[in-house]
Amino acid sequence: MMRARNPSRWRRCTIGLTALALGGCAVGPTFHRPPLAPQRHYRPPGELMRGEHAAPARYRQRVMPGAGSSGAWWRLFHSPQLDALVRQALTDNHDVAAAQAALARSRELVTVGGAARYPQIGFNAGTGREKYGAEFLGPNAFAPFSYLAAGVSVAYQLDYIGRTRRTLEESRALVQYQRSELAATRLVLTGEVASQTVMIATTRAEIRAVRGLLREDRANVKLVRGAVAAGSEPRLDVLTTQAQLASDETLLPPLYQRLTTARHALAVLLGRTPASWRAPDPALKDLTLPASVPVSVPSQLLKRRPDILAAEVQLRAASAAVGVATANLYPQINLSGTLSQEALRPAHLFDASSLAWSLIAGVTAPLFDGGTLHAERRAALDVLHERADLYQQVVVSAFGQVADALDALRHDAELRAAEARALELSRHRLTLERASYRAGNSGLLPVLDAQRQRERAQLGLLGATQRQYLDTIRLLLAAGGRVGPAGRSSPKAAASHT
């Protein structure tokens, strides 16, 4: 062990090596987002679907591009009950909690990786008793002795090619990925809660409609029985009305099954078992279909969709991994040093004469590894190319989803208007057929046919309403779930982007 004569030499050496490390380069590619063709529209310019503007204005929804930055998109439905359910789900859902834990873990790993940028300093202390053999020391052999030692050690890997920086860049990209995964989990969760709430509300409305239909069926049976007893109608009409009642009764069990399934799904989304939590029964009147739907413009979609952001940071991590694999091809320089006090007696442990130090520099370089390191670098490049293609595909799929949802919203308005018109006409026809039957101008079959037509139209309108609500939710999610101040864009601007 060399005795310390000039401790400042160690400090000057450390400062010089640190400056060399900070001034080094980082091997590997510098990350750039893949270039994409500029997109101004979600659909081909000038494309008009059949009947796009056929629906009356009260059934159409206005698309508003350029939404703000708020994420509370579900508040567009103006339902305090839905708002409470979403907030409870975001708090209690286990998938969200798991994603939050994954994000916290990735942040800690960044701290671990960042520590490699600094010297690792440790404290060492010990005592012992030793005796050297005569064969080893020869005539210089001496008696057993006890010793004490205390000091610090410093170890540092010189990052002259940026291996540590690339590793840290990869870890930070993984943090961004976990953050995007958390955002995606929250977005999907809010969409599922809203969808199940709509399912419960519309299914309850369908059940009420079918119950009203069954009351009319029973009234028809009673009416016909009275007519048969009076001798004005054949007995076959009683069987006809009873058959209609039995047929309509088959509509209820599937609706009840759909309702309980939606309630159970909502309980699971809120982190509860169906037996431990009872889902509320929102009514369709408690939900307001947004007249204006905010949608991010194509240029903003890349920054708002969590899946696009996740694909981008995965690409960034793959780029950093190429840098790490490239750095492994270069020699690694390791520096270490110790500064300690060593003495045979405790009284002399902190004397100047007991000072000891060491400074060691080591280099390790690959000479022959069977092509392992080069193969690992080629594999990292292949992963980079894979992530680039996956990123492009995620972007393309996102634009396709928004385009589909925009078209669905337009066609839903047309369908809902048609169903409303059909219901109005079927009600009018049923009123006339009943009046004609009571006056004895027609038989029972026209009344039953008009009633079935009214039934189909009423259930069809509820189905179209449900579809319009669900497609609105789908469009809001496809656009990234962001909601901001509406009314900033003109209808002309909205058409130019959609």
Give percent of the chain above pLDDT 90.
Answer: 36
The architecture that CATH gives domain 2-497 is Up-down Bundle (1.20)
> Higher model confidence: residue 402 or residue 15?
402
What does the mean pLDDT of the chain come to? 82
In the prediction, which pLDDT does 135 show? Answer: 67
Tell which wins on pLDDT, 324 or 35: 324
Statement: residue 17 has pLDDT above 90 = no
Q: What is the reported pLDDT for 51?
A: 43
Higher model confidence: residue 395 or residue 488? 395
**Whether residue 11 has pLDDT greater than 60:** no
Report in angstroms the alpha-carbon separations of 140 from 148, 248, 351, 492: 22, 111, 26, 100
Q: What pLDDT was estimated at residue 78? A: 92
pLDDT in tens, 89-113: 999 999 999 999 999 999 998 888 8
- Output the six-digit token pair for 445: 């079959």
In this prediction, residue 220 has a pLDDT band, given cuts at 50, 70 and 90, of confident
CB atoms under 10 Å from CB of 241, counted, come to: 22
Q: Is the pLDDT of residue 422 over 90?
A: yes
25-57 tens-digit pLDDT: 677 678 777 776 667 777 776 654 444 456 777
Q: Which region among 109-118, 399-408, 475-484 has the lowest average model confidence (pLDDT)?
A: 475-484
141 Cβ contact list (under 8 Å, min separation 6): 132, 133, 134
- Report pLDDT for 50: 47
Q: Which amino acid type is present at position 399?
A: F
Residue with tokens 């799929």: 397
Q: According to the model, what pLDDT value does residue 38 have?
A: 66
Kindly calculate the radius of gyration of the chain based on its CA atoms and give it in whole angstroms: 38
Percent of the chain residues past pLDDT 70, beyond the cut: 85
Which of 69-83, 327-341, 471-485 has the lowest average pLDDT? 471-485
pLDDT at 489: 37
Residue indicated by tokens 């078209």? 407
pLDDT at 328 over 50: yes
- pLDDT beyond 70 at 67: no
Residue-wise pLDDT for 342-392, tens only, equals 877 777 777 777 888 888 888 888 888 888 989 989 999 999 999 999 999
DSSP collapsed to 3 states, the chain: CEECCCHHHHHHHHHHHHHHHHCCCCCCCCCCCCCCCCCCCCCCCCCCCCCCCCCCHHHCCEEEECCCCECCHHHHHCCHHHHHHHHHHHHHCHHHHHHHHHHHHHHHHHHHHHHHHCCEEEEEEEEEEECCCHHHHHHHCCCCEEEEEEEEEEEEEECCCCHHHHHHHHHHHHHHHHHHHHHHHHHHHHHHHHHHHHHHHHHHHHHHHHHHHHHHHHHHHHHHHHHHHCCCCCCHHHHHHHHHHHHHHCCHHHHHHHHHHHHHHHHHHCCCCCCCCCCCCCCHHHCCCCCEEEECCHHHHHHHCHHHHHHHHHHHHHHHHHHHHHHCCCCEEEEEEEEEEEECCHHHCCCHHHEEEEEEEEEECCCCCCCHHHHHHHHHHHHHHHHHHHHHHHHHHHHHHHHHHHHHHHHHHHHHHHHHHHHHHHHHHHHHHHHHHHCCCCCHHHHHHHHHHHHHHHHHHHHHHHHHHHHHHHHHHHCCCCECCCCCCCHHHHHHHC
Candidate ranges 232-236, 258-262, 294-298; pick with highest mean pLDDT? 258-262
Q: pLDDT tens digits, residue range 155-210?
A: 888 888 888 888 888 888 899 999 999 999 999 999 999 999 999 999 999 999 99
Is-contact 164 241, C-beta < 8 A? Answer: no
Over 90: is that where the pLDDT of 267 sits?
yes
Length of the chain, in residues: 498
Average pLDDT score over residue span 139-153: 78
pLDDT of residue 190: 94
Q: What is the mean pLDDT of residues 465-476?
A: 94
